Every structure is written in structure tokens, then in C-alpha cells.
Amino acid sequence: MTVDLKGNERIDELQRNGYRIIQNPERFCFGMDAVLLTGFAYAKETDILLDLGTGTGIIPLLMEAKYGCRHLVGLEIQPESADMAMRTMAMNGLSEKIEIVTGDIKEAGSLFPPASFDCVTCNPPYMIGNHGLVNPQDSKAIARHEILCTLEDVIAQTARLLKSGGRFFLVHRPFRLAQIITLLVEYKLEPKRMQLVYPYVDKEPNMVLIEAVRGGKPRLKVEKPLVIYKTAGEYMPQIRDLYGY
């Protein structure tokens, strides 16, 4: 179909099912963390999935490509990003299957019925507060810093919207791991699986992937570390597989 692009927008190939995505590098483009999250997460064909803070829709798009899912929803507060996501789904013929909703994560519990999702995914802002920000209203700042929502907002709304036994998949930074686990347990989202991500085998981890289950029993599996680069600019084989190379 014909795609109407707006100023500075581009179309990127995803190497999955022939899908493409509209992005604007002046606003925000998806990064490796979103790809890693979809590699760590899993879903069933019958699942209904919600992605909180979906940006331009990369996570529901990749989850649909991998698992099908009955229906997927992306919630995004920034209208310009939500508009790009809607046009991306239309371009891929997925408008009926992947629904983009413009709205606030803090109000997600009133936008959707309680306990209505089998899976929730989230690649949230990592940084606390406005430290180092020049313009807190900048779209990139909103994506990276807890300006419009906090980690607790994300976890609280997830707990409200997940079915009993439903799965929550989160990518975040290791320096906030203690807070993440504390909040998950507080909201009865039991951490069940965790994987640390290392840029190189001899470096400290810079990402953590977590699966939690609504009402699950205490038992946490720590998976073997995931290393991104073999050498500078050369991905490890498992990372190439995630990108479809």
C-alpha cells in the first residue's frame, strides 16, 4: 500500500515476515533493548498482549511476527509516535490485529478492563527524574527518563491488567534490579525468570530481562548470561539470530 511519510520519517526493514516500520530519527528509534525483550518474551497464538509505552510499535510488531497472538495492543502517550505506529500497522496490513491506543500508562487500568491480558510487555524509561535533561518535553527524553510515568506506575498497572497466571516481560537496567524485584513482589507479580545482558564477555551487564507471573509461586530461574558482541561491531550468533541476519 502507499505510505504517507511526514518530515524526517523513514521506513526500515525488520527482516521478519517482510514487516517494515516507520521511524523518525529526530524523535526516537527503537534500540536493541526492544529486540532483546522480544527474544526473551514468549506468547501463545491465543494470547491477548499489551505493550506499555509502545513507541512506534516495534514490540507488538515483532511479537506478532514470532507468535501470532490473537490480538495485540500498543499503548503510547505521545501522539506523534502513536500516529507512526498506526501507519506502520496499516502499511503491514495489521491494523485489525495490532491496535494502537493513544493514552497514559498511569491510566491504563481505566482504558482497558481489569485482568484482560494474557501478556504484558514493557521497555520503559530507565532513568530516574530529570537529572541531566535539557528539555524534559523532548520526545527522546520522555522515552529515556521517568518524566511521564515511573517504574511503579508500570508495575501497578500491569498487575491490574494481567489475568491470573498472566506473564509480564520487562527490560531494564541492572542498577535498578533491587527496586524492580521489590515492586514486582509487592504487586503480586512473582519474578520467575531473569537474564543479564552483557555488551562483551569481560564487561559488566548493562541490561536485565525479567519475566514475572501474576500470582505465581516463588521460584526464580536465572538464565545463562547473554553476550551481545564477540568483538567490536561483530554480534554473537544468538544476537544475529534475533535480528534475522
Write out pLDDT tens, residues 88-139: 999 999 999 999 999 999 999 999 999 999 999 999 876 666 555 445 555 5
Q: Does 202 or 127 have the greater pLDDT score? A: 202
What is 10-243's CATH number? 3.40.50.150
Write out pLDDT tens, residues 186-198: 999 999 999 999 9
DSSP string for residues in 109-133 = HHHS-TT-EEEEEE----B-TTTT-
Predicted pLDDT of residue 145: 47
Average pLDDT of the chain is 91
Average pLDDT score over residue span 68-92: 96
Distance CA 47, CA 72 (A): 8
The sign one gets for the Cα dihedral 25, 63, 123, 37 is negative
Write out pLDDT tens, residues 15-68: 888 999 999 998 888 999 999 999 999 999 999 999 999 999 999 999 999 999
